[in-house]
Structure 1
């Protein structure tokens, strides 16, 4: 199973406001767009993103106001080492609301919010590890760390590549075994107090690029993954499973040389 993280999907209330925010502040460009009868999907990312870098998928459903839950945490974007404070100040100068500045985060990272309240962490990385503002990781909250790690390591053959354990919570980072440094990771956050989370609908799903949709889907089912939306129910274009906490995970085959990023 290839297992490259292809994109993270979020839902937004105003498509044009969201596109303007990401294009203005993170210099994202529109990679492709699909117009449905009552919804629009747009893929975004840095102009010079790596072919294994993850895109941001923005979905707008007409007439809907998405609600942000706390089961999804944030996306993280990259800036070069030593540029955190300057890049954060640049966002402030451009009119982005001050949410969690570098000083409040010990000078290690910072946070802003997009127009819908999606949290965006800013992390420092080696300049060779992906384009400016490229997606570094997506954080999701889990209610059982052992189950969550087991899900990703057994179902998708991911490796645990990092962890940070504090007094009240722990963060675990997982990614494909052969992931290049430009690829996105998944951050699993586990709070020790046994709390539960609300999913909301403003965060949509993670998407994993696979080589063989039917074969990899069958392999996931053999490993006990949830049969949520199988390939046949999705016109054999993609499929969805869920993790132990109900986070949706899309599987898709992607022809990087095709004229369109969409399989429609």
Structure 2
């Protein structure tokens, strides 16, 4: 049996701020939107151009407090061709980024980028 990931979902406090972050920081585009006013929530799906996996941003109307992310080390991961250039781009944009690290001298470098809601994205050298 073959399983293909379709999307991952995160809940966001400020939908426009999150859309802007994912467009600017990771070059994602809105692939589709669904609004459910009767249930007071909106879904915005974002993905890479020509990509298959979507990130679902779930926005619940009138939410005032940020969501609790949890104390685990949960995160999404993406690969990039030029880790240093990506790191500089994110730092210059004023995003919250960790230091570039590596598990050992033989492994690829990586750093963590944090979105407006506190979700972490691991950026890994391809």
TM-score bracket for this pair, using the shorter chain length = 0.7 to 0.9
Aligned equivalents of 1:161 and 1:238: distance in 2? 27
Please show how residues 139-154 of structure 1 align to structure 2 within 5 Å.
139-154=9-24
Q: Hey, which bits of structure 1, 4+ residues long, moved more than 2 A? A: none
Please show how residues 9-48 of structure 1 align to structure 2 within 5 Å.
none
The question of 1:190 aligning with 2:59 is answered: yes
Deviation per CA, 1:15-74: give whole Å up to 9, x if none: xxxxxxxxxxxx5xxxxxxxxxxxxxxxxxxxxxxxxxxxxxxxxxxxxxxxxxxxxxxx
Which among 234, 249, 254 is matched to residue 121 of structure 2? Answer: 249
- Displacement of 1:133 in angstroms is 2.0
Aligned equivalents of 2:41 and 2:12: distance in 1? 11
Aligned equivalents of 2:71 and 2:47: distance in 1? 25
* Structure 2 residue runs without a partner (length 5+): 103-107
Which among 223, 226, 245 is matched to residue 96 of structure 2? Answer: 226
Q: What's 1:209 paired with?
A: 79
- Displacement of 1:202 in angstroms is 4.7
Q: Alignment length, in residue pairs?
A: 118
Q: What's 1:200 paired with?
A: 70
CA RMSD of aligned residues (A): 1.7
Question: Residues 252 and 175 (structure 1 numbering): CA distance in 2 closer, same or farther, change over 3 Å?
Answer: same
TM-score calculated relative to the size of structure 2:
0.85
Deviation per CA, 1:70-93: give whole Å up to 9, x if none: xxxxxxxxxxxxxxxxxxxxxxxx
Secondary structure of the residue that 2:117 maps to in structure 1? coil
- Displacement of 1:193 in angstroms is 2.2
TM-score calculated relative to the size of structure 1:
0.42
